[in-house]
Amino acid sequence: MSEEIKNEEIIEEEVVEEVSEVAEETTGATTEKTDLELAQEKADDFENKYLRAHAEMQNIQRRASEERQTLQRYRSQDLAKKILPSLDNLERALAVEGLTDDVKKGIEMVQDSLLQALKEEGVEEVETTTFDPNLHMAVQTLPADDDNPADTIAQVFQKGYKLHERLLRPAMVVVYN
C-alpha cells in the first residue's frame, strides 16, 4: 500500500467538511477514488471465485466418489458377461449321455467354482417363476389354461444372469399367455 494512500485516509476526519463541495468537480481524483472501490470489488470478486471453486471442488469430489463406487460395484461386469457362454457349455457338457462319474464330477467342479467366483462378485441367476419382461425374453409362447395361468414360465432355454441389480443377459424362456 502506498504512503500517499495512507495519508489520504488518515486525514479524512479533519478535511472532509471543507472539501465536500469541490469533491464532485475534482476529476483528477477519480483514480484515487477507485482505489478502495477497486480493492473491494477485487475482494468481492475473489471471494465469489473462491466460493464457487470451493463448491465445485466438493462437487468434483462427490462425483468422483460416486463414480468410484459404481466402477467398483460393476467392475466384474465385462468379464462376467464373457464367462456366461462357458457356463452354458458346461451345462451342455453335463447333458451329454454316457459320461463317466469322474468326468461328470470334474465338470461339476468347474461349474461350481465358476458359479462361486461369479457369486462372490455379485452375479446371480435370474429367477424364472413368473414372466418379467425386464428379466426374461420369451422365445416361445404356449396358450394359458386353468393349470397354467398367463405369465407362468413353462421352460427355460437358457439361464439369465444379473450383476447386483444390473441384468447381464435375460433368461430365454417359454411362457404361457
Q: Which of positions 9-28 make contact with a copy of itself (CB under 8 A)?
A: 9-16, 19-20, 22-23, 26, 28
Is residue 29 close enough to count as binding a copy of itself by CB under 8 A? yes
Which is closer to a copy of itself, CB of 58 or CB of 140?
58
Is residue 134 close enough to count as binding a copy of itself by CB under 8 A? no
Strand 123-125 versus strand 161-163 pairing type = antiparallel
Is residue 61 close enough to count as binding a copy of itself by CB under 8 A? yes
Half-sphere exposure (Cβ direction) of 124: Cα atoms closer than 13 Å: 8
How many other C-beta atoms lie within 10 A of the C-beta of residue 22? 9
Which is closer to a copy of itself, CB of 109 or CB of 139?
109
Closest distance of CB 7 from a copy of itself, Å: 5
Closest distance of CB 109 from a copy of itself, Å: 5
Site stretch for a copy of itself (CB under 8 A), options 50-58, 126-134, 135-143, 164-172: 50-58
CB 140 within 8 A of CB 116: no
| Joined grid coordinates for residue 97 | 449321455
Of 140, 134, 130, 138, whose CA–CA distance to 168 is shortest?
134
Which is closer to a copy of itself, CB of 123 or CB of 153?
123
Give the span between the Cα atoms of 77 and 24, in whole angstroms.
74
Site stretch for a copy of itself (CB under 8 A), options 40-48, 124-132, 141-149, 151-159: 40-48
Give the span between the Cα atoms of 20 and 55, in whole angstroms.
44
Is residue 66 close enough to count as binding a copy of itself by CB under 8 A? no
Kindly identify the residues of this chain, within the stretch 77-116, that bind a copy of itself according to CB under 8 A. 78-80, 82-83, 85-86, 89-90, 92-93, 96, 98-100, 102-103, 106-107, 109-110, 113-114, 116
Give the span between the Cα atoms of 65 and 116, in whole angstroms.
29
Determine the straight-line distance between the first and last CA of the chain, rounded to whole angstroms.
Answer: 86
